[in-house]
């Protein structure tokens, strides 16, 4: 396969030069020339060209028969035997995809025998079917036993779409599973839709640190797998008592899947409220100046029952533990209220919090990008405003 | 003694990328190519393990010829050997084809105890290649590592993983693939002596044939996923900037938040 410019059609308009995210196109004698070493065949130039002057030649593979694959599956991630919210969010979005495909929506729940108690919640949030996969070794997530169990399940029941949360667990598992079942995987999606004609999953995700968005398909392989960023999609309203089909499955897990041992889980005492679940988050950035000033953030968070968040810069500087980091390489959050104190708002931070309902930004620099996403902006000194807000809110609460 | 392999990627420094607000396209001028920052942590991890246990550190990268610059930086940091895996046939690789290509390269190199990667690359942000390599090689993976201790005699490694709210300590047999987070260490700067060495080193390059790759698994053709569209997210409109005296602003904010029934 290769990419080429059709010289007769190229008008030298330079649109493709601007469109190329990888600086792989230059103009030579007023026609576009593609540097094949820099080109990643991303398609951006082809989209930009108004004259159909760029072509990718793809040798189409006659792939395996994919018409037998039916249904949308959602991985019901559980921690400490509680299904995580991201699974319910995926059921909400999965319901729309299943409707567009006129197919069924299933949840896959793995755990020890006790996990069956959670199946009811999955029906209540919209699953038509729950595959209940139980084995003592599935109580806590471990890569190899989970990969074994799910590979068998996928091979037997052949879903056309399989969605997992883009959590540490979802990303660890999906990456291994996709290779084993021989299919494509798109990471950390923020948009999903069905191509109305081809009936395939269109997966949109941020790339380049959130600077651009890419839409990705996996046309010839099944299931179409994606990890999906938490807090991007909404749950469907819960229907208590909803029923569905429960399919019990007991996987065979061999000794070789048990070579990695889980020794210990270490809790972080500085995490008082879980960021991902918090309704209010107060976050501190470089503007705090030094580690001890996080106390101001903690005090404000304490008064309004919020969790403490942090920008990457403060985590990198060692002012606060990484469990508090919000952003592209940290957590994605979408609380009712996000208060950003002394955070400039680089794109990598914004992608982690811009879906919050209400955003308050306090920053000295009126040009800070954080103000572009803020519902309410305060151009000023956080050392004045944060203690003042703490004091006033404390008075208010008596 | 340990045979350590580090997989790295040369990436554009995405923190330096900006959007031209008029054309809504990426501004690339002056955006440097760097070693993916998490991969520098992986190199540092390998160098420290070698200092503790002895052995050899080999760094590999898949990419175009100019990716050899990233390998020179790795040499300057003190690694023993570098390998560039480069072939036109690799263009358009997604994480499936990339992990296959790197796994084939590692098989070709022979012995290894530990394969280290950064947790994800800052341009693609997938975190999929490390686990992919592990699956192709049929060995365990441990992702998001923040601390690694190796017991060379028992051929086992105790690893602390940084998860959302907690850390997890696991023990894996070797060989294994381990991806590391930034908090694991502070990567060293290239030394002057290292820079001299890097300048003189001829970069060993392997193509598709040299790694005995099955051509149907490579590049765009070997990639199950295809990018069909790339676009710039629409710029967000800013909200309201509160004006006035400090106390008035604070009061105004609180009353707005109360109206919204948030506080």
* Residue A60: per-residue pLDDT: 47
Q: Please check the confidence at residue A274 and state whether its pLDDT lies above 90.
A: no
* Residue A64: per-residue pLDDT: 63
Least trusted range by pLDDT, from A40-54, A293-307, B166-180: A40-54
> In this predicted model, what pLDDT tens digit does every residue of A157-203 receive, in sequence order?
999 999 999 999 999 999 999 999 999 999 999 999 999 999 999 99
* Residue B261: per-residue pLDDT: 84
pLDDT in tens, chain B (263 residues): 999 999 999 998 887 777 776 666 667 677 889 999 999 999 999 999 999 999 999 999 999 999 999 999 999 999 999 999 999 999 989 999 999 999 999 999 998 999 999 999 998 899 999 999 999 999 999 999 999 999 999 999 999 999 998 999 999 999 999 999 999 999 999 999 999 999 999 999 999 999 999 999 999 989 999 998 888 877 666 789 999 999 999 999 999 999 988 88
Does the distance separating the beta carbons of A23 and B28 come in below 8 Å?
A: yes
| pLDDT band, very low/low/confident/very high, at A87 (cuts 50, 70, 90) | very high
| pLDDT band, very low/low/confident/very high, at A46 (cuts 50, 70, 90) | confident
* Residue among A19, A215, A220 whose CB faces B224 most closely: A220
Q: Which residue of B has its CA nearest to A371?
A: B238
* Residue among B14, B171, B257 whose CB faces A208 most closely: B14
Q: Please check the confidence at residue A360 and state whether its pLDDT lies above 90.
A: yes
Residue A74 contacts B, CB cutoff 8 Å: no
Q: How far is B53 from chain A (nearest CA, A)?
A: 22
B-chain residues near A388 (CB < 8 A): 246-247, 250
* Residue among B96, B231, B250 whose CB faces A392 most closely: B250
Does the distance separating the beta carbons of B239 and A377 come in below 8 Å?
A: yes
Q: How far is B41 from chain A (nearest CA, A)?
A: 13
* Residue A272: per-residue pLDDT: 82
* Residue B236: per-residue pLDDT: 66
Q: Is the complex ipTM higher than 0.90?
A: yes
* Residue B232: per-residue pLDDT: 82
* Residue among A41, A323, A388 whose CB faces B91 most closely: A41
Please tell me the pTM assigned to this model.
0.88
Tokens of B168: 């997890």
> In this predicted model, what pLDDT tens digit does every residue of A319-345 receive, in sequence order?
999 999 999 888 889 899 999 999 999
Q: How far is B148 from chain A (nearest CA, A)?
A: 14
Taking residues A229-235, what's their average pLDDT?
A: 91
Q: Please check the confidence at residue A286 and state whether its pLDDT lies above 80.
A: yes
């Amino acid at each position: 396969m290769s990419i080429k410019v059709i010289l007769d059609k190229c008008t030298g308009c330079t649109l493709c030069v601007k469109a190329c995210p990888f600086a792989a196109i230059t103009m030579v004698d007023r026609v576009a020339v593609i540097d094949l070493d820099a080109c990643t065949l991303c398609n951006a130039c082809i989209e930009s060209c108004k004259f159909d002057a760029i072509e990718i030649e793809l040798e189409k593979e006659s792939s395996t028969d994919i018409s037998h694959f039916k249904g949308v599956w959602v991985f019901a991630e559980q921690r400490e035997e509680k299904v995580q919210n991201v699974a319910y969010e995926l059921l909400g979005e999965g319901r729309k995809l299943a409707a567009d495909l006129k197919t069924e929506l299933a949840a896959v729940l793995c755990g020890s025998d006790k996990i069956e108690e959670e199946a009811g919640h999955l029906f209540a949030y919209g699953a038509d079917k729950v595959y209940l996969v139980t084995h003592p070794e599935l109580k806590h997530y471990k890569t190899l036993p989970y990969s074994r169990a799910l590979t068998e399940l996928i091979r037997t029941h052949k879903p056309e779409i399989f969605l997992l949360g883009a959590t540490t667990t979802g990303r660890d598992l999906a990456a291994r599973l996709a290779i084993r079942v021989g299919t494509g995987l798109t990471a950390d999606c923020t948009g999903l839709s069905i191509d109305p004609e081809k009936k395939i999953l269109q997966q949109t995700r941020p790339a380049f640190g959130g600077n651009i968005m890419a839409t990705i398909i996996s046309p010839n392989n099944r299931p179409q797998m994606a990890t999906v960023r938490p807090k991007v999609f909404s749950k469907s309203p819960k229907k208590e008592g909803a029923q569905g089909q429960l399919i019990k499955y007991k996987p065979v897990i061999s000794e070789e899947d048990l070579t990695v041992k889980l020794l210990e889980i270490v809790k972080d005492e500085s995490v008082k409220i879980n960021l991902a679940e918090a309704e209010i988050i107060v976050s501190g950035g470089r503007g705090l100046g030094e580690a001890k000033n996080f106390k101001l953030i903690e005090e404000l968070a304490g008064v309004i029952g919020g969790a403490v968040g942090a920008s990457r810069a403060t985590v990198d500087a060692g002012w606060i533990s990484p469990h508090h980091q919000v952003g592209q390489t940290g957590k994605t959050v979408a609380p009712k209220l996000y208060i950003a104190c002394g955070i400039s708002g680089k794109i990598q931070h914004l992608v982690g919090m811009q879906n919050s309902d209400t955003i308050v930004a306090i920053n000295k620099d009126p040009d800070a990008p954080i103000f572009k996403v803020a519902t309410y902006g305060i151009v000023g000194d956080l050392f004045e405003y944060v203690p003042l807000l703490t004091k006033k809110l404390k008075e208010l609460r008596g | 003694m340990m045979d350590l392999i580090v997989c790295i990627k040369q990436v554009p420094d995405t923190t330096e990328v900006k959007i031209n607000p008029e054309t809504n396209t990426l501004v690339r001028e002056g955006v440097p190519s760097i070693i993916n920052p998490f991969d520098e942590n992986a190199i540092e991890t390998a160098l420290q393990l070698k200092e503790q246990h002895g052995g050899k550190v080999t760094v590999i990268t898949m990419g175009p010829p100019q990716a050899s610059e990233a390998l020179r930086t790795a040499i300057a940091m003190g690694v023993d050997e570098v390998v560039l895996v480069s072939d036109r046939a690799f263009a358009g690789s997604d994480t499936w084809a990339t992990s296959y290509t790197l796994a084939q390269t590692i098989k070709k190199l022979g012995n290894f105890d530990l394969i280290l990667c950064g947790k994800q690359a800052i341009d693609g942000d997938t975190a999929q290649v490390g686990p992919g390599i592990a699956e192709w090689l049929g060995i365990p993976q441990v992702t998001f590592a923040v601390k690694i201790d190796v017991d060379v005699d028992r051929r086992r490694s105790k690893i602390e993983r940084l998860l959302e709210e907690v850390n997890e300590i696991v023990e894996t047999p070797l060989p294994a693939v381990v991806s590391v987070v930034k908090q694991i260490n502070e990567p060293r700067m290239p030394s002057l002596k290292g820079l001299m060495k890097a300048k003189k080193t001829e970069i060993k390059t392997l193509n598709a044939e040299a790694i005995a790759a099955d051509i149907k698994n490579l590049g765009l053709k070997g990639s199950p996923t295809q990018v069909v569209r790339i676009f710039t997210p629409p710029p967000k409109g800013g909200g309201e900037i509160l004006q006035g005296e400090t106390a008035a602003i604070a009061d105004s904010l609180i009353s707005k938040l109360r109206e919204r029934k948030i506080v």
